[in-house]
Amino acid sequence: MRRAQEVAVRPGRQKSRSVSLPAPIGGLNGRDALSNMAATDAIVLENFFPDATFVRRRKGNSTFATFTGDCQTAVDYAGLTSTKLFVCVKNGSDFRIIEATAGGAISTAVVGGSGPAIQALTSTIFDSVNIGTTGGQFLLMCNGTNPMLEYDGTTWSAGAITGVTGGTSAIKTMALFQNRLFMLAKDTFDVWYLAVGTKAGAATRLNMGSLFELGGSLSALVTLSLDSASQTADHIGFVSTQGEIVVYKGDVADAASWTRVAVVRLGRPIMYGQRTWAKIGGEAVITTVDGVMPLSQSIVKNTRDTSISLSDKIRGTYDFAINTYGTAYNTIGFAVIFHPFGRKLLFNVYAGVTSYPREQPAYQLVMNTETKAWCKFTNWNAICWLVTGDLLYYGMDGKLVQADTGNRDQEEATVNDRFIVAYAKQAFNYFGSRGTIKHFKALRFNEMMFPGYLTDIYQGINVDFQDFVPTDFLNQSTLSSGGVDYDTIISEWIGTTGAGYCAAPYLALLPANNGLTFAWASTDIIFETGGVL
């Protein structure tokens, strides 16, 4: 076996080098070769969230409401003085909407099931909007199968929209634009809209079939704001199942102002309706087979340029999710949602397993909306998502769960206070010399722990593209076993072994009584340099 050439060292000459690396705040890289990643990228970043200056373990969750069946949609009614939550639950052949505002164990249907005879339900995959009129605040819901529903904060009733071909059962998704309610009829190119400031009455038809060269049907309505030379104007995009998007501005009832702005071709959308897109500020991002595409940039580029995708850096990870679980159009469980308070864009990947015991039925690819860095969350077994106020919820098998809260995962059918296991493997680093062997001696992770309890922290390195979880356990004997009641900075050297051209720091937080907040700022590594082989 060839060995590294020893370096002759004169007495008193420093033999070892110390290098400090920032934590992988650049986030997950699922695109580049292992040998060509930036120093701040990560090969593995599971249940760690990349902030601007450090990487921290994600927050936990807490069960809010329980019921029997799969929560396929969660919606909120945002009134003038109150907010109410509802879950839309499928349990075998039973479909019902249940109020979940108070949380706890719930079962009584407000629509569907054997409850109030407003109407029977045969689907609980809904889209919804909150709309205000002179008559008050209303929640409208549609699913393309059953007649539309409306709720005024007290009473549920059938929607009062008329004139739609096939009735309101044909309405699949909705959006508000220019103070009008726009609706799409499923499996058509028909757009229906109401008079300004209304939620009922006769709808007007606008057929857009002649504008779409690739065929298919309409899939989603998206709204966004675009800057012009002198102002920012609101726009609406009509998305087809083939990925064509026709963008308009102005008032649909005023021929002089209703103007086509752009026709864009992207990959096909992953989902139908509101689950396939999210609004971040004035931008609309659409989940397609090309990636998470920002519509405004796609309009400017006027080409199918996947390099502008927000998910370009995790291209391989994203493609694997789509090719493995998202090949069937309108796959239940896939969704994208923006959580402003958490600075997170979450893309939910759903494998379709809906009963315990389960092995990762869902996971999330998560982007920091400030830094655009990505990571992966696991053990949030979501089918659908909801943001209401500053709170993030997901619906799953038997539960409505508040996410991104606390320091433990308390949603688990068989384990109470489930521990948040987290892994972070930084990019391999040649430390300025690709052709030179290094003998790695020691490393220390500079970390911060905030009030909570202890965790099992394992630290180490992988050398020359190895892939194994470290087994070096960080000694926490200096910390109180009863819990940390003060901010603690951990910066302990641990011995390590390994020789190679490059190394990747690896950090694992494994099960313990670990209800704490953990942040990783940087890593120091000591190594000796050998010769060139």
pLDDT digits (tens, 9 = 90+) for 165-174: 999 999 999 9
| pLDDT for residue 478 | 42
pLDDT digits (tens, 9 = 90+) for 98-112: 999 999 999 999 999
| pLDDT for residue 475 | 53
Domain spans, the chain:
16-58+423-532
Region 370-391: what's the mean pLDDT?
96
How far apart are alpha carbons 214 and 304 in whole angstroms?
A: 14
pLDDT digits (tens, 9 = 90+) for 450-477: 554 456 788 899 999 999 998 877 655 4
pLDDT at 20 over 80: yes
Which CATH superfamily groups domain 16-58+423-532? Galactose-binding domain-like (2.60.120.260)
| pLDDT for residue 497 | 85
pLDDT at 175 over 60: yes
pLDDT digits (tens, 9 = 90+) for 470-508: 887 765 544 444 444 445 667 778 888 889 999 999 999
pLDDT digits (tens, 9 = 90+) for 351-365: 875 444 445 689 999
What burial letters (b/e) apply to 389-426, b meaning 16+ CB within 10 Å? eebbbbbbbbbbbbbbbbbbbbbbbeeeebbbbbbbbb
Q: Could you write out the DSSP letters of every residue in 72-83?
A: EEEEEEE-SS-E
| pLDDT for residue 3 | 47
Q: Could you write out the DSSP letters of every residue in 415-443?
A: -SSB---EEEEEPPB-TT-TTEEEEEEEE
| pLDDT for residue 413 | 52
How far apart are alpha carbons 455 and 486 in whole angstroms?
A: 15
| pLDDT for residue 467 | 93
Selection from 403, 441, 443, 399 nearest residue 420 by Cα: 403
Sole residue written with tokens 């997950």: 28
Residues 6+ apart with CB under 8 A from 284: 222, 223, 224, 237, 277, 278, 294, 295, 296
| pLDDT for residue 512 | 56
Give Cα separations from 283 to 109, 223, 239, 297, 468 (angstroms).
37, 8, 15, 9, 40
Q: Residue 306 gets which letter from DSSP?
A: G
How far apart are alpha carbons 446 and 196 in whole angstroms?
A: 58
Classify the phi-psi angles of 241: left when phi > 0, otherwise alpha if psi is within -120 to 50, otherwise beta: alpha
Sole residue written with tokens 């990643």: 37
| pLDDT for residue 412 | 65
pLDDT digits (tens, 9 = 90+) for 296-328: 999 888 777 888 999 999 999 999 999 888 765
What does R_g of the chain's alpha carbons equal in angstroms? 26
